[in-house]
Each structure stands twice: as C-alpha cells, then as structure tokens.
Amino acid sequence: TQLLEQSPQFLSIQEGENLTVYCNSSSVFSSLQWYRQEPGEGPVLLVTVVTGGEVKKLKRLTFQFGDARKDSSLHITAAQPGDTGLYLCAGAGNQFYFGTGTSLTVIP
Amino acid sequence: GAGVSQSPRYKVAKRGQDVALRCDPISGHVSLFWYQQALGQGPEFLTYFQNEAQLDKSGLPSDRFFAERPEGSVSTLKIQRTQQEDSAVYLCASSLVGLGFYEQYFGPGTRLTVT
C-alpha cells in the first residue's frame, strides 16, 4: 500500500519549460524526501524536508513541505534533458513510504 | 566500491524455483532496507534491519519471502517457490542510522523475471 499519491504520473515537456510535481497524503510524516531514479539504477536522494512550510532550493529545483506535513511539491524551472527520470517522494513514519512516482521526459 | 552493490543484476527463474538475492551495503551502515519496485512505480517497503536484527518485516508479501542479515552486514532476500507476480526489481538500500531523515543509499537493484 502506497500512502503517497503523486501527480501527474507522466509528464512530457519541452526543454526550457517549468513544471511542478505534487505529492499528497492523508498521513502526517516526520520528514519527507525527494529522489530521482534513472533506468537501471536505484533512486538518488535530492533533498530532505523536515519542518512544515519549509522551502528548499537546489539550483533549478524548489521543494516545499506542506504546513501540515502531509504533502509536498517539487518545482523545476527551465527544465533540461538531464532532468529526465522518475521522481519519487518518500515519507518517514513507522516505515519508509514511497510515492507512486512521476515519470518526467524533457524533450530537447 | 563505496556504494551499495546487489547481485545478480538480472535473474530469470522458472515458476516454482527458489531464488536468493544478495545485497552488500556500504561499510559501517547500520540500517538495511529491501524494497520491491514494479515498472514505473515507486518502491514498496518489504523489510528493515538494524544491524542483524530484523525490526520490521510487515511488507513481505507472503511467507515465501524471507530475508536475513546474520552478521549485520551482507543481506540476502530469499523467495521460495517463485510466482509470476514476484517479477519486479528488488532494491536494497543502506543508511548510516535508522528511519527518519537520514539518507538511504540505494543499490542498482536486481531485476527478477519469473517465467
């Protein structure tokens, strides 16, 4: 059972466009992480957010943790082909719960 | 190498066969996790070890799945009498400490295909 729903499930955009990926749950998490996974590899951590309302920026990526610590968003500015991959949110509770995933394709 | 390694990378098994998947975590990492990932989906938690102790196995889908980490380092996930629904990528991750906001380092996974 995956407690975290991500939207959209698939996203195909042109290079230079902006996009936002959402991660929603009815459960509260002590922390939330975002990972990126490329084909044939394991997920790689991008960021961890801990405090409700927290915003973190990583170059062109902006991550936000909801005030109630139930949801999060990832915004990418001026997407590049190298951003292509499967984006996963993951929440820490009694276990580590991964989201359903968002497959992003950036077309040159 | 410094990362998490898994072997084999690919495994094809006939239905009913037993398989064993190996995970070598990063040296010194206390926690080890196993996940099952269907194509294009997020990983689903299977089980979690802290050193040699299996603290949570609630995600194992059936009693055909068994995991061990006898010396608190290498771990093996065993699947008995494989079924077609067991086909997936099995990911292993290790972490310096336990659950929470500590980074998990993932291996490349073992892709299991049951025919």
Q: Is A39's Cβ below 8 Å from some Cβ in B?
A: no
Q: Give dist(CA A95, CA B31) in Å, integer.
A: 12
Q: What is the pLDDT along chain B (115 residues), one digit of tens a residue?
A: 579 999 999 999 999 999 999 999 999 999 999 999 998 889 999 999 999 999 999 999 999 999 999 999 999 999 999 999 999 999 999 998 866 557 889 999 999 999 9
As a whole number of angstroms, the distance between CA A44 and CA A32 comes to 14
* pLDDT tens profile A5-32: 999 999 999 999 999 999 999 999 888 9
pLDDT at A94 over 90: no
pLDDT at B102: 72
**What are the DSSP E strand ranges found in chain B?**
5-7, 10-13, 19-24, 31-37, 44-50, 53-56, 65-68, 75-79, 88-95, 105-106, 110-114
| Residue B108 with chain A: CB contacts under 8 Å | 40-42
Mean of the per-residue pLDDT values for chain A? 93
The string of pLDDT tens digits covering residues B79-108 is 999 999 999 999 999 998 866 557 889 999
Supply the pLDDT for residue B84: 96
The pLDDT confidence band at residue A93, using thresholds 50, 70 and 90, is confident
Both tokens assigned to B92: 């292993």
- Whole-number pLDDT of residue B99: 60
Q: Are B64 and B79 in contact (CB under 8 A)?
A: yes
A27: Cα separation from own chain's centroid: 17
Distance from CA of A64 to the nearest CA of B (A): 15
pLDDT for res A2: 62
Rounded to whole angstroms, the Cα distance separating B45 from B50 reads 15
CA dist A77 and A89 (Å) reads 18
Question: Residue B42: which of A30, A40, A88 has the nearest Cβ?
Answer: A88
Interface A-B, measured as beta-carbon pairs within 8 A, has a size of 66
